[in-house]
Amino acid sequence: MRFVVTTSYKPTKEVVSSARGLAEELGVKYVSRSRLKEFESEHSLDFYYVFDKNGQLTIRNRETVFFFHPGMSKVRFKNMRIQDSDYLIKSMDLSGSETVLDTTFGLGNEALLIAHYLPEGKVIGLEASEHIYRIVSHGLRNYPYADEWLIEASKRIELHNRDLRDFVKGCEDNAYDIVYCDPMFDSPQMRSHSINPLRPFAMYERINRSDVDEMIRISSKRFIIKSRTRDSLFEELNLEFDRLWGSKKSGVLYGVIDKE
Ligand SMILES: C[S@@+](CC[C@H](N)C(=O)[O-])C[C@H]1O[C@@H](n2cnc3c(N)ncnc32)[C@H](O)[C@@H]1O
């Protein structure tokens, strides 16, 4: 994909310097915002990274803006508070000191929720897409969170730009208390506006049974995998779940394999 790094209009020196630094790291050109239109008309760009004055990082093109936001974690946090209900949190059955490996981090909305319930633990996240990793790792650290619980939860998350399929092979047996996997669905849930801008950058390659066997091997308490009711993933993997959590209404299922 062809892309460059720029800033918002009238950037400070610090913002220009951060944008130049990112361009260098990514091995692409830094283009000043005042020259961007001209540059775009000469080189057909797929998108550009924008560092803005408030320290936020986004990816933009004519159609879309992709940025980090904790949206769904806030909704689910509220549901937990009011109704004590969230299928993922319930299926994890956390004591609060676990280390959870979230192998498909995405926007990290579920990771933030999980991290809230780990006052003595942490979440290690893996994200294979370099662009999602860049936006989300920057966002996790720099987002202007209005809620104290999100500030604290974000500090308990460590994110790596790794493909889970390679990563798990290098891990020892029982290395993480809980391993969680939420791959992209076959049939996208277009209603999920929070995930839509992430789609063009996401990794869609299917995980297979041997990837899952590795994830089970490196979890000491449990392995959890998410799928939609109408996806064929669970059939393909042919796993024997100890529990299946979810609702017909949401069409989302969490398959749980207990190791203890
Ligand atoms: C459905 S999203 C995860 C959403 C996430 N649970 C959240 O709450 O925001 C799936 C993410 O996993 C990433 N992914 C897919 N396959 C992967 C792999 N093999 N290794 C690491 N990340 C992967 C995709 O790029 C995408 O960002």
d(CA 116, CA 53): 29
d(CA 89, CA 165): 24
Name the residue at shortest CA distance from atom 13 of ligand 1.
Answer: 104
d(CA 233, CA 205): 12
DSSP string, 90-142: HHH---S--EEEESS-TT-HHHHHHHHT-TT-EEEEE---HHHHHHHHHHHHH
Cα of 91 vs centre of ligand 1, distance in Å, is: 19
Answer yes or no: do 76 and 41 share one domain: no
* Domain finish residue from 15, 36, 63: 63
pLDDT at 190: 56
Other C-beta atoms within 10 Å of 78: how many? 10
Residues with CB under 6 A from ligand 1: 103-104, 106-110, 126-129, 132, 163-165, 182-184, 198, 202-203
pLDDT at 125: 98
Q: What number of helices (H) and strands (E) belong to the chain? A: 10, 11
Answer yes or no: do 221 and 166 share one domain: yes
Answer yes or no: do 143 and 54 share one domain: no
Name the residue at shortest CA distance from atom 9 of ligand 1.
Answer: 107
Cα of 74 vs centre of ligand 1, distance in Å, is: 19
- Assign 1 to helix, strand or coil: coil
Cα of 204 vs centre of ligand 1, distance in Å, is: 8
pLDDT at 60: 94
Name the residue at shortest CA distance from atom 27 of ligand 1.
Answer: 106
- CATH number for position 18: 3.40.50.10480
Cα of 200 vs centre of ligand 1, distance in Å, is: 12
pLDDT at 197: 82
Whole-model pTM? 0.96
Answer yes or no: do 177 and 221 share one domain: yes
Answer yes or no: do 33 and 140 share one domain: no
Cα of 127 vs centre of ligand 1, distance in Å, is: 6
* Domain finish residue from 39, 63, 87: 63
pLDDT at 189: 59
Answer yes or no: do 58 and 75 share one domain: no
Answer yes or no: do 220 and 236 share one domain: yes
Domain that holds residue 44: 3-63
Pocket test for ligand 1, best of 203, 215, 231, 250 (most atoms within 8 A of CB): 203
Tell which atom from ligand 1 comes closest to the C-alpha of 202: 25
- CATH number for position 148: 3.40.50.150
Answer yes or no: do 94 and 144 share one domain: yes
Identify the CA nearest to 223 among candidates 185, 168, 170, 184.
168
Mean pLDDT, consecutive 10-residue stretches, the chain (260 aa), reads 95 95 96 95 93 93 90 93 93 97 97 98 98 97 96 98 98 98 78 77 95 98 94 94 89 94
Answer yes or no: do 157 and 36 share one domain: no
Contact yes or no for 132/59 (Cβ under 8 A): no
**Residue 38 structure tokens:** 């001209």
* Domain finish residue from 63, 88, 107: 63
Answer yes or no: do 138 and 254 share one domain: yes
Q: How many domains does the chain have?
A: 2
d(CA 251, CA 14): 46
Tell which atom from ligand 1 comes closest to the C-alpha of 129: 25
Pocket test for ligand 1, best of 104, 137, 194 (most atoms within 8 A of CB): 104
